[in-house]
Amino acid sequence: MFIPESQTAAFTISFVSGLVFGFAGAIPPGPLNVTVIRDAGIGRTREALRAATGGAVVDGLICGLAGYGLGSILERVVNYPGVRLGLAIFLVLYGLKILIWDRRNEGRPSAAGITPQTSAEGERLDLSFFVGVLHGAANPAVFINWTLFIGFLVSHQLFRPGPLTASALAVGVGLGVFLWFLVLIELVTRLKNHPAGEWIKNSTTLAGVLLVGFGLAFTWKSFRAL
């Protein structure tokens, strides 16, 4: 399909802006960063990639809908106190799972001579994408951050709302977020033979505590909004 020059420029600027800001916006610590670091550190690279993909889809979807002018509707749904509370409780439960279930079963052989981690690998891989989606949606700051980002782009004439530019922005943001997690996974993987790598590998407790902490903080905010 032919795109007029002005639309081509708008499409390109929207895509590049989304790519750059998506990468930068994913760097600050959050629940998904904690999960990706933990999974990559213990050799679950595919699981980390799928969780990262889920988080990237959430960010891209939010920016795309905001660009279409539907962001306020989605924001009202996800920021509804009951929904926010449910997502926050999910983080607490997932953190407790890491602290209790995962730590208890690490390295424990099964009757078949394989670890529970290996026997349940397929199930985890299937669920990891949705874990990433929930981690991304559970962060109450995500809508504020991307709304401010789009406002910045509009005010500096880097984004003109419309179907084409909103699609370009959404794809750019999603790819930018995913690229950050690729860099993070590669960094953690390369550190496996470094003293820091052993610390990352044994950081299950820290990961669980951080996720529970995020969940409790978000739960408190959700209760205050009820």
User: What pLDDT, on the 0 to 100 scale, is given for residue 192?
Assistant: 74
Instruction: Give the range with max mean pLDDT: 58-62, 63-67, 106-110, 125-129.
Output: 58-62
For the stretch 197-217, pLDDT in tens is 666 656 667 777 887 887 888
Q: Are the CB atoms for 45 and 188 separated by under 8 Å?
A: no
For the stretch 186-198, pLDDT in tens is 988 888 776 666 6
For the stretch 115-124, pLDDT in tens is 444 444 444 4
For the stretch 32-81, pLDDT in tens is 888 898 888 888 899 999 999 999 999 998 888 877 765 555 555 555 66
Confidence band, pLDDT 50/70/90 cuts, at residue 16: very high
Average pLDDT over residues 126-147: 79
Helix pair 31-41, 121-138: axis angle to 10 deg: 160
Q: Report the amino acid identity of residue 81.
A: P
Q: Report the amino acid identity of residue 134.
A: L
Find, among 91, 92, 88, 115, the residue nearest to 102 by Cα: 115
